Amino acid sequence: MSALLSGITVLDLTNVLSGPFATLHLSLLGAEVLKIENPKDGDLARKLGNVGKLNKELMGTSFLAQNANKKSLTLNLKQPEAREIFGKLAATADVVVENFRPGVMARLGLGHTTLRQKNPRLVYCAISGFGQTGPDADKPAYDQIIQGLSGTMAVNGDERLNPLRAGYPVCDTVGGLNAAFAIMAALFHRERTGEGQFIDVALLDSIMPLMGWVAANLLIGGQQPVLMGNDNFTAAPSGTFVTADGHINIAANKQEQWEALTEVLGVPELREDARFKERDTRKDNRKALTPLLEDKLRLRPTAYWVEALNARDVPSGAILGLEAALRQPQIAHRQTLRKVEAPGIGTLEVFGMTPLFDKTPGSVDTPPPRLGEHTDEVLGRLGYAPEAIGELRQRGVV
């Protein structure tokens, strides 16, 4: 089977998370991603992670998580010769991705308008916190800042714990997915027209539509968000409940699911209770309903209720810790995690392409690269002799 993006070359100038997450998905689909890093210490993510030894080797766990299948080329873009090399690469590349602050690439003489003159087919994607224009365009931004400014932290938690940050960098990862989607769309457009284009991706823009239902309640229904913790604001009973040995997630979002739930729990009388009979009244009276359900749920362990409820088509599930989540049979069956050998480190388990293509599947073929591992290979393809590469290295160009 051929790779979906076989023959596509991506110049990846990005650091840390949003950009590398975008280019990871392109690499999993077969694009050649040339990760262009500064010669001193490369992507900051190389120093990030909970294994000090790997951080010192510039192979931190944060870097290992999202750089499989890529090649590392070092270029000190502050030097003219390095910019010349980048220009040669961009002249025949398909995609450039960067997540510098707005204007940085233009000041280096490598902005999208300059590169487009050399390569009209080039798709250029710039990822930033706030976008390339607007009153906040020049402000620095990390995931936590965007979580706060987007309203994400304000709608999380309950009256006891709010504002509340999501437990992983959701804005960075969503921004990366948005960028990957946009790049694929631009490549499709290029197939039709032959022309490349400039893509401006903002992390703040990217996360906002994920709150579409909450925002619609405000913009259309005039209702401010209500802090509900683990409860689902669209239905009841739908949320987290106490069992004999812990907790369970139940989402009886449809009327027939609610009725089946009352049968499984042995409380059919609640179906005729005026407080709970209809969907909207159940939502209004969820605080009264939850204890009545938990009186029954506390009699048996989570596993019992998960099996019994799912057998009646009432969505339910255990609440797993991260290790249990990673090791559950469904994840193994879907091959969500893939193994790859990293020299000097050992076997790595990393995430592969989660959509499963039957004709052009994604794959993890090579481990995340050591800093500058492919510099000689890439420069050799441009016609640089080994002696010339050695000279460039001595002068700190690469």
pLDDT in tens, 13-40: 999 999 999 999 999 999 999 999 999 9
Mean pLDDT over residues 348-359, rounded? 96
pLDDT digits (tens, 9 = 90+) for 262-311: 999 999 999 999 999 999 999 999 999 999 999 999 999 999 999 999 99
Q: For the chain, what are the domain ranges? A: 9-209+332-394, 238-320
pLDDT score recorded for residue 89: 98
* DSSP label of 344: T
Whether pLDDT at 194 is above 90 = yes
| Predicted local distance difference test score (pLDDT) of residue 393 | 96
Provide mean pLDDT across the span 157-180: 96
Q: How far apart are CA 268 and CA 262, in angstroms?
A: 5
> Whose CA is closest to 21, among 45, 41, 51?
45
Global confidence as pTM: 0.94
The stretch 194-204 carries a mean pLDDT of 98
Banded pLDDT at 2 (limits 50, 70, 90)? confident
Average pLDDT over residues 237-242: 97
* Mean pLDDT (whole number) for 363-384: 98
Judged by DSSP in three states, 251 sits in strand
Do the Cβ atoms of 177 and 25 come closer than 8 Å?
Answer: yes
198 pLDDT more than 70: yes
The reply to whether 238-320 shares the fold of 9-209+332-394 is no
Confidence at residue 42, expressed as pLDDT on a 0 to 100 scale: 97
Share of the chain above pLDDT 90, in %: 99
Fold of 9-209+332-394: Rossmann fold (3.40.50)
The catalytically annotated residue of 172, 245, 284, 376 is 172
What homologous superfamily does CATH list for 238-320? formyl-coa transferase, domain 3 (3.30.1540.10)
Mean pLDDT value across residues 188-193 = 98
Quick one: pLDDT at residue 225?
Answer: 93
Predicted local distance difference test score (pLDDT) of residue 193: 98
Q: Catalytic residue at 172?
A: yes
Mean pLDDT over 80-89 rounds to 98
pLDDT of residue 230: 93
3-state SS of 8-37 is: CEEEECCCCCHHHHHHHHHHHCCCEEEEEE
Contact 137, 205 (CB under 8 A): no
Q: Give the per-residue pLDDT at 15.
A: 96
Contact 15, 21 (CB under 8 A): no
* Model confidence pLDDT, tens digit, residues 38-57: 999 999 999 999 999 999 99
pLDDT tens-digit series, residues 322-342: 999 999 999 999 999 999 999
Instruction: State how beta strands 123-128 and 70-74 pair.
Output: unpaired
Average pLDDT in the chain: 97
Given a cut of 80, whether residue 1 has pLDDT beyond it is no
Cβ neighbours for 209, distance < 8 A, ≥ 6 positions apart:
none
> What percent of the chain shows pLDDT beyond 70?
100
